[in-house]
């Protein structure tokens, strides 16, 4: 009653174990006709390779690298913590993990880092990087070298990456828009804050947000995006200016990093209590703001899930196994004060 083994295939196909092995591992020296016979037997008895026994025999090690922004944002730190935890857990069986920091703001430095990778010492990489032609080329090179490549959080859809692990950012923006519209009254103005509109995730979020507000909440006005470029001073200055100039301001949507300085600026203005703030990514900071009702909702993607999913997907790609989409789909979580676990 237990699952069939290679021996069963051999018996069923009327060939020897060695031949089954050659077919299974795509080794040469088997006639097409025999291959077909073995394949038929495999299908008939429903054989599935025992990956763990195979890895044991093969002494397989999966060597993966996570390529992440060096910028010390709260979100990046949360992500790295999740990586450490995954590493410690049994999930990391036969997995060697490495984290590589890249300077996000300089596209050339990113490409230099990617080119500097010792690809022969790696089986796969997970990359979180902004979208530039150079990065796409670098990924093509990694694929040429036979690595598994997944993009993390922000996708590079026209690159040769195998898979994207992260949320649909248009839908995330739409969700923020729907929440904002439901929370606010019939009219008012909404400030949009972003770290940089050059990154794909911010663009997509803005797109989704605007779309929902325009179609479902026509009384609300969305102001142009304000960018902070990783600069707290700049954030406080520009946000302060908008608040002072906009008495009808009712909501603030923060699409990326920089929530600490944004909230500082809002507190400074004295209008925080009257504003509905929606931000992205649950960090110790945004969690505290939720608890104290300074932020109404946080759109989140679970970092633990992101990391575990990346590892599973990278392994599946390396082993040429199917990916269970329903398990790997990263959900757009709405976090409010009461469901902070």
Residue ranges that bind its own copies, judged by CB under 8 A: 2, 48, 50-53, 55-56, 59, 61, 85, 89-90, 93, 168, 171-172, 174-175, 177-179, 182-183, 208, 212, 296, 302, 304, 308, 321, 324, 326-327, 329, 331-334, 336-339, 341
Work out how close the CB of 244 gets to its own copies at its nearest, in angstroms, rounded to a whole number.
Answer: 27
Token look-up 């923020």 returns 176
The footprint of DNA on this chain (CB under 7 A) covers a number of residues equal to 30
Residue 304 interacts with which of DNA, its own copies, none, CB < 5 to 8 Å by class: its own copies
Q: Which is nearer to its own copies, 142 or 180 (CB)?
A: 180
Residue 28 interacts with which of DNA, its own copies, none, CB < 5 to 8 Å by class: DNA
Closest CA to 71 of 198, 256, 205: 256
Q: Should residue 54 be labelled a site residue for DNA when binding is judged by CB under 7 A?
A: yes
Q: Which is nearer to DNA, 22 or 280 (CB)?
A: 22
Q: Is 3 helix (H, G, I), strand (E, B) or coil?
A: coil
Work out how close the CB of 300 gets to its own copies at its nearest, in angstroms, rounded to a whole number.
Answer: 9
What does DSSP say about strands 249-254 and 188-194: parallel, antiparallel, or unpaired? parallel
Among 40, 44, 50, 89, binds DNA (CB under 7 A): 50
Q: Which is nearer to its own copies, 2 or 120 (CB)?
A: 2
Q: Which is nearer to its own copies, 46 or 270 (CB)?
A: 46
Q: Which is nearer to DNA, 292 or 320 (CB)?
A: 320
Closest CA to 327 of 163, 179, 175, 191: 163
Side-chain-side CA neighbours of 166 within 13 Å: the count stands at 22
Among 28, 72, 185, 270, binds DNA (CB under 7 A): 28
CA angle 292, 295, 301 (to 5 degrees): 115
Q: Which is nearer to its own copies, 140 or 334 (CB)?
A: 334
Give dist(CA 291, CA 182) in Å, integer: 20
Q: Which is nearer to DNA, 272 or 318 (CB)?
A: 318
Q: Which is nearer to DNA, 3 or 108 (CB)?
A: 3
- The stretches of the chain forming alpha helices (DSSP H) are 6-13, 17-24, 32-45, 51-58, 74-88, 107-115, 133-144, 169-183, 200-216, 232-245, 259-269, 284-291, 303-319, 325-328
Residue 332 interacts with which of DNA, its own copies, none, CB < 5 to 8 Å by class: its own copies
Contact call for residues 130 and 107 (beta carbons, < 8 A): yes
Q: Should residue 31 be labelled a site residue for DNA when binding is judged by CB under 7 A?
A: yes
CA angle 93, 7, 20 (to 5 degrees): 85
Contacting range for DNA; rule: CB under 7 A; set: 12-20, 149-157, 242-250, 301-309: 12-20
Q: Should residue 15 be labelled a site residue for DNA when binding is judged by CB under 7 A?
A: yes
Q: Is 66 helix (H, G, I), strand (E, B) or coil?
A: strand
Among 33, 118, 120, 326, binds DNA (CB under 7 A): 33
Q: Which is nearer to DNA, 58 or 84 (CB)?
A: 58
Work out how close the CB of 202 gets to its own copies at its nearest, in angstroms, rounded to a whole number.
Answer: 18
Q: Should residue 46 be labelled a site residue for DNA when binding is judged by CB under 7 A?
A: no
Give dist(CA 211, CA 224) in Å, integer: 14
Edge to edge, the sheet with strand 163-165 lists 95-102, 62-69, 124-127, 148-152, 163-165
CA angle 28, 30, 32 (to 5 degrees): 115
Q: Should residue 59 be labelled a site residue for DNA when binding is judged by CB under 7 A?
A: yes
Tokens of 308: 């575990």
Residues forming the site for DNA (CB under 7 A): 2, 5-7, 14-19, 21-22, 24-25, 28-31, 33-35, 47, 49-50, 53-54, 56-59
């Amino acid at each position: 009653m237990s699952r069939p083994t290679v021996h069963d295939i051999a018996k069923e196909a009327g060939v020897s174990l060695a031949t089954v092995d050659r077919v299974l591992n795509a080794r040469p020296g088997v006639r097409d006709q025999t291959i077909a016979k073995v394949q038929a037997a495999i299908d008939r008895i429903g054989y599935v390779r025992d990956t763990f026994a195979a890895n044991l025999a093969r002494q397989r090690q999966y060597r993966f690298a996570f390529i992440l922004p060096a910028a010390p944002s709260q979100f990046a730190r949360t992500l790295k913590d999740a990586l450490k935890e995954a590493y410690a857990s049994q999930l990391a069986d036969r997995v060697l993990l490495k984290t590589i920091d890249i300077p996000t703001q300089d596209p050339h430095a990113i490409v230099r880092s990617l080119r500097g990778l010792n690809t022969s010492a790696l089986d796969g990489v997970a990359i979180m990087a902004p979208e530039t032609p150079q990065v796409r080329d670098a990924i093509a090179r990694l694929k040429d070298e036979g690595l598994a490549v997944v993009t993390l959080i922000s996708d590079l859809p026209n690159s040769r990456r195998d898979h994207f692990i992260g949320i649909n950012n248009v839908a995330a923006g739409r969700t923020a828009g729907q929440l904002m519209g439901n929370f606010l009254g019939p009219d008012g103005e909404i400030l949009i804050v972003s770290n940089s509109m050059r990154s794909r995730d911010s663009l997509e979020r803005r797109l989704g947000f605007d779309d929902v507000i325009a179609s479902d909440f026509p009384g609300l006005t969305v102001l142009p995006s304000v960018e902070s470029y990783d600069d707290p001073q700049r954030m406080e200055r520009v946000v302060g200016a908008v608040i002072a100039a906009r008495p009808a301001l009712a909501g603030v949507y923060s699409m990326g990093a920089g929530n600490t300085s944004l909230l500082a600026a809002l507190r400074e203005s004295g209008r925080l209590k009257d504003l509905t703030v929606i931000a992205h990514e649950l960090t110790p900071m945004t969690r505290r703001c939720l608890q104290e009702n300074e932020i109404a909702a946080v759109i989140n993607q679970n970092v633990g899930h992101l990391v575990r999913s990346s590892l599973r997907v990278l392994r599946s790609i390396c082993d040429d196994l199917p990916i269970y989409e329903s398990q790997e789909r990263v959900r757009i979580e709405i976090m409010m004060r009461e469901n902070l676990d």
